[in-house]
Every structure is written in structure tokens, then in C-alpha cells.
């Protein structure tokens, strides 16, 4: 389990770096529009995207994301349901992800990157409650609240800002020690920068509540979830991280209730997949280490597995305890009731992978893909089954056939493994280079590309393409060196 308990502190350090770092001497031809100049140049959407891309590469590199295709796919679908209902969000890029952190928090990066902690998912009692947080964060992005705060920072060029965020956000340092060395006035300036203003929060609430209603979700959920967070704060030594950057008051919660009451009634359909998503996140993140199996064992012994989600949770706990026969039995029973449910299909495949019987699951996954041909979780699962069955060439063809314009780091990592096991040295090194580039390891990416050039490939365009990748990495590295001078 990888849990970054001090992520909020690291975010504060990153914000502080923006305020404290001096303006670098960069050649004019390399300089992008600066933030907060007296001329009033605004941070563009393209520039926001560059910052967000860099931050996401850092999250991938430091293994902070819950990289589960099923959880990612569910959250992306819920997020884009909200985006489709927000007119200001249309035409903009968004990406939703889960952070493996037990804290009660959510965050938005520039460029439409929105994350929720595993701890927040565990506290949500309905899809609408989880969606209320996402809708709120989407509104912060569309209204460009973070961009406006960045523009108020000291005059920094965009390249240096990206570099500062990328290198300091998740640097291998002790964040408590770093914060302790700062003066009170500097810390106050940092907090002022990362906190959203009262006006920002009210605007995000208003837009988020309307978005919930337009999405067919419960507009009352935002006030309910905010009230839950405020009540939870009474039992914490310090309030949840979400409250430190999104301060709540009784008036604000009351306003959210009134705003929701003013909207026309919404016919709400409960999505049973929410409970499966929540169970899976809690299980994978091990939010209750050492107790999860005993909790579900006790419920099973007492006949208290009251829902399909309970049986699913029990099956996941059994899989983690290597009780594969019992887990298989539970999942097969669930699949008889709902044969098209991807949560059950993938979980059964995971049982067979763990039990070293991948051939037992392949046909079912392939059948599910006929109904969901481009499903990210199914493609990844089938590729893993094929690799376990020693069919790397077939796994590679599947991943390449189903790839999108921009493969995710987990996809690239799995593709590199398939190419390595298929004996495709040049292709493996190139893909490994793409993977390292996608997580911000430029030096490692350049080395892999150079190794790819030395290998023979049947692709007549490989040499030209790989050399172009090397040139691009070299250009970025040189620009970063210039920033440090």
C-alpha cells in the first residue's frame, strides 16, 4: 500500500515555491508569457494545461495514484457526466483520478485535473455525494479560480513556474521540516494563495449544485456532504484537509440547502455501481489494514451479507487472503445475477490470475469485450491474462489495437512488458521511453530511446520517429538547464 499522508503539506510547499523563487534569467526566445505582470497578461488555458500536465506526471512518477482501471473508469464516467451538464466545461480537457491517501480531501489542478482521496470516497454514502465534490471542483476549473490565484503570485515566467511545481511538489524531502524553516509571514502568504476565497467557494457551490441537478443527481447532496465533513471535524484533532482549503460555515451549508430547494425536482436513479466502486477503492487502498477480512468474515458467519456489494466486498477480502475457491464461488453467484457487470468480470479474472489459472477467465473477459469493445478495464485485464498465459505477442496486438491517441502510463508499462517478453527489443525500449517520459523521467526516457536506436526494428519509420523523440527530450532538458542558471 502506498499512502502519502503528507500530500497537503507538500502542496503547501509547492505553492510557497511560487511565491519565494526569484524570477529566472531565461533567454527571450525561450520565455513564455509571464504571470501577474503589470501589463495584466492572463494565464491562458493552454498554459494552465502545461502546469497540470507536469503535476500529473509527478503524481504518476511518485506512485501516489490508485492505478486501478476499474476505479479510474468509473470515476471518469461520473466526472464526464458532470462535465456534459456544465456548459462552461464543454470543449475543455478534464481528467479524474483517485489519490491513494486516507485523508478527507479533494483537489483540482490547472488544466482540468481533478482528484479525490480514497478517504473521501470511503465517507461518501451515495453517488450524488461523491459527485457533489467533483461538480464543485469542476466549477473551480471552469471559473479559473486557481489560475486567478496564480496570477496574483510574484512575477514568474510560466516555464519556471512549471519547473518549481514539478520539482518541489513531490520532492524527496521532509515536508514538516521544510515548513518549519519558513517564517510565519511566508506561511501566511502560502495559505492565502492556496485557499479559495469566499466568493470562489460560493460560485463553485452554485454552479456545482446546478450541475448535479442537470446530471440527474441529487442537488441536496452537496449540503449533506458538507455537513457530514463539518460534523466529522469535531472528532479530529485538526479539521479534514478539505476544510482547510475550502472553509465551511453554517451559513454556506444553509445557502447550499436553499439553492438546491429552489431547483425543480429531480428524478434520481441510484447507480448500484457506486457501492461496488466504493468497496473496491476501500479494499485496494487497505483503509482498514488487518481488519477488512475479519469484518467481512464476521458478517458472512452471521449471515449479514445483505447486498450484492457486501458479497463483492467479501469476495475481494477472500481473494486478498488467497481463499480463491471461496472468492470464485461468491463472484460466480454474482455473475449469474448480473453477467454483464464489469466489476464482477474483472474481479473473477483477478482471482484466476492470483490462482495461476488465467485460462479459466479469458473467454469470459473476451465475451464481455464484445459488449464493451473499448473498455479500458477489460482491455487491460485481457492483456494481463494473455501475458500470464505466455502470449505476449497477442497481448501486444490487443494493446496497440485498442490504444487511444494518448496511452496512460499503466498502458505503456504493460505494453513494454509485452514487447520485452515477445523479444521485441527496439519496440520495448521505445515504449519504455514513452512510459518514463509520461511520468516526467526525462533522463531515463532519453536513455531508453538511445537504446532503441541501437536495436533492429522491422518498422521502416522507427529510426526517424525515435530520433525525433530524443531531440524533443534533449530540447526540454536544455531548457530546464537554462532555467537553473
CB 174 within 8 A of CB 188: no
CB 418 within 8 A of CB 397: no
Q: Name the catalytic one among 47, 73, 101, 205.
A: 205
458 is known as an active-site residue: no
CA dist 199 and 145 (Å) reads 10
Could you tell me which of 322, 373, 367, 321 has the C-alpha nearest to residue 344?
Answer: 367
Angle between helices 250-261 and 198-214 (to 10 degrees): 30
Chain-centroid distance of CA 5 in Å reads: 16
Q: Name the catalytic one among 137, 273, 330, 419.
A: 137
137 is known as an active-site residue: yes
Point out the residues that are catalytic: 137, 205
Amino acid at each position: 500500500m502506498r499512502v502519502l499522508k503528507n500530500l497537503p503539506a507538500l502542496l503547501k510547499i509547492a505553492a510557497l515555491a511560487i511565491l519565494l523563487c526569484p524570477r529566472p534569467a531565461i533567454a527571450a526566445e525561450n520565455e513564455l508569457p509571464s504571470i501577474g505582470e503589470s501589463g495584466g497578461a492572463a494565464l491562458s488555458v493552454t498554459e494552465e494545461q502545461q502546469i497540470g500536465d507536469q503535476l500529473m506526471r509527478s503524481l504518476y512518477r511518485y506512485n501516489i495514484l490508485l492505478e486501478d482501471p476499474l476505479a479510474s473508469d468509473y470515476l471518469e464516467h461520473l466526472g464526464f457526466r458532470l462535465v456534459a451538464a456544465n456548459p462552461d466545461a464543454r470543449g475543455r480537457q478534464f481528467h479524474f483520478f483517485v489519490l491513494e491517501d486516507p485523508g478527507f480531501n479533494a483537489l483540482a489542478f490547472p488544466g482540468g485535473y481533478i482528484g479525490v482521496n480514497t478517504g473521501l470516497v470511503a465517507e461518501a454514502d451515495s453517488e450524488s455525494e461523491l459527485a457533489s465534490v467533483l461538480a464543485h471542483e469542476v466549477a473551480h476549473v471552469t471559473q479559473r479560480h486557481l489560475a486567478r490565484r496564480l496570477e496574483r503570485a510574484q512575477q514568474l515566467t510560466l516555464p519556471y513556474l512549471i519547473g518549481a511545481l514539478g520539482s518541489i511538489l513531490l520532492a524527496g524531502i521532509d515536508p514538516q521540516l521544510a515548513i518549519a524553516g519558513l517564517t510565519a509571514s511566508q506561511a501566511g502568504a502560502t495559505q492565502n494563495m492556496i485557499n479559495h476565497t469566499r466568493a470562489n467557494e460560493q460560485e463553485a457551490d452554485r454552479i456545482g449544485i446546478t450541475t448535479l441537478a442537470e446530471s440527474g443527481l441529487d442537488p441536496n447532496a452537496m449540503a449533506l456532504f458538507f455537513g457530514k465533513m463539518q460534523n466529522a471535524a469535531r472528532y479530529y484533532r485538526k479539521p479534514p484537509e478539505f476544510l482547510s482549503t475550502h472553509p465551511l460555515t453554517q451559513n454556506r451549508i444553509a445557502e447550499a440547502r436553499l439553492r438546491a430547494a429552489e431547483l425543480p425536482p429531480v428524478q434520481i436513479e441510484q447507480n448500484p455501481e457506486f457501492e461496488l466502486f466504493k468497496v473496491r477503492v476501500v479494499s485496494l487502498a487497505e483503509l482498514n489494514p488487518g481488519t477488512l477480512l475479519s469484518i467481512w468474515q464476521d458478517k458472512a458467519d452471521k449471515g449479514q451479507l445483505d447486498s450484492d456489494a457486501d458479497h463483492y466486498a467479501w469476495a475481494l477480502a477472500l481473494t486478498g487472503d488467497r481463499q480463491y475457491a471461496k472468492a470464485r464461488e461468491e463472484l460466480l453467484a454474482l455473475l449469474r445475477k448480473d453477467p454483464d457487470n464489469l466489476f464482477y468480470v474483472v474481479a473473477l479474472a483477478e482471482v484466476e490470475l492470483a490462482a495461476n489459472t488465467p485460462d479459466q477467465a479469458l473467454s469470459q473477459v473476451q465475451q464481455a469485450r464484445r459488449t464493451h469493445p473499448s473498455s479500458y478495464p477489460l482491455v487491460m485485464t485481457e492483456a494481463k491474462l494473455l501475458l500470464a498465459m505466455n502470449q505476449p505477442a497477442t497481448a501486444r496486438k490487443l494493446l496497440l489495437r485498442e490504444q487511444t491517441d494518448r496511452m496512460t502510463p499503466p498502458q505503456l508499462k504493460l505494453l513494454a512488458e509485452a514487447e520485452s517478453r515477445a523479444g521485441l527489443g527496439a519496440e520495448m525500449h521505445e515504449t519504455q521511453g514513452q512510459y518514463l517520459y509520461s511520468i516526467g523521467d526525462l533522463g531515463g526516457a532519453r536513455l531508453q530511446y538511445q537504446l532503441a536506436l541501437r536495436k533492429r526494428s522491422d518498422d521502416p519509420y522507427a529510426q526517424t520517429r525515435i530520433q525525433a523523440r530524443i531531440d524533443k527530450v534533449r530540447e526540454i532538458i536544455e531548457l530546464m538547464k537554462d532555467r537553473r542558471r
